[in-house]
Amino acid sequence: MSLLKTIETNPSFAPRESSPLPERLISGNPSFKTWAQDVARGEMIHTGVWEATPGETRSIKGETFEFCHILSGLIELTPENGEPVVYKSGDSFVMKPGFVGIWKTIETVRKIYVTVM
């Protein structure tokens, strides 16, 4: 097992396709694609590429820490009781455990993610 993992930003394999849970959907009809690329530490750390079409959903992290690097697209994140923050291609951010807010995909977004549970 190699301890070096390259994340393919344009994976050649088929993604897992999904949509938001009905209780998390705010507006639009977003769809999601996930290209899971690595799992480590007994399923505690997940890495891959995720894509979403325009729409608005509730983002609830629970106990999960998530690092995101935006490859393309445009989003607006609004923390509960906070001000909106816009992220675009080239930007990176972290949603810490306990984060609750609104994820608004303005232009189809593709990101690299690393989640730690």
Q: Is 3 exposed, middle or buried (0-12, 13-18, 19+ CB in 10 A)?
A: exposed
- 74, 85 in Cβ contact below 8 A? no
Joined together, the tokens standing for residue 10 give 């344009």
Query: Does residue 28 have a pLDDT over 90?
Result: yes
For the stretch 71-81, pLDDT in tens is 999 999 999 99
Query: Does residue 1 have a pLDDT over 80?
Result: no
* Spatial CA neighbour of 85 closest among 73, 71, 74: 74
Query: Does residue 2 have a pLDDT over 90?
Result: no
CA distance 72 to 65: 22
Average pLDDT value for the chain: 96
For the stretch 34-65, pLDDT in tens is 999 999 998 999 999 999 999 999 999 999 99
CA distance 104 to 109: 10
For the stretch 76-115, pLDDT in tens is 999 999 999 999 999 999 999 999 999 999 999 999 999 9
DSSP, residue by residue, 36-77: EEEEETTTTEEEEEEEE-SEEEEEE-TT-EEEEEEEEEEEEE
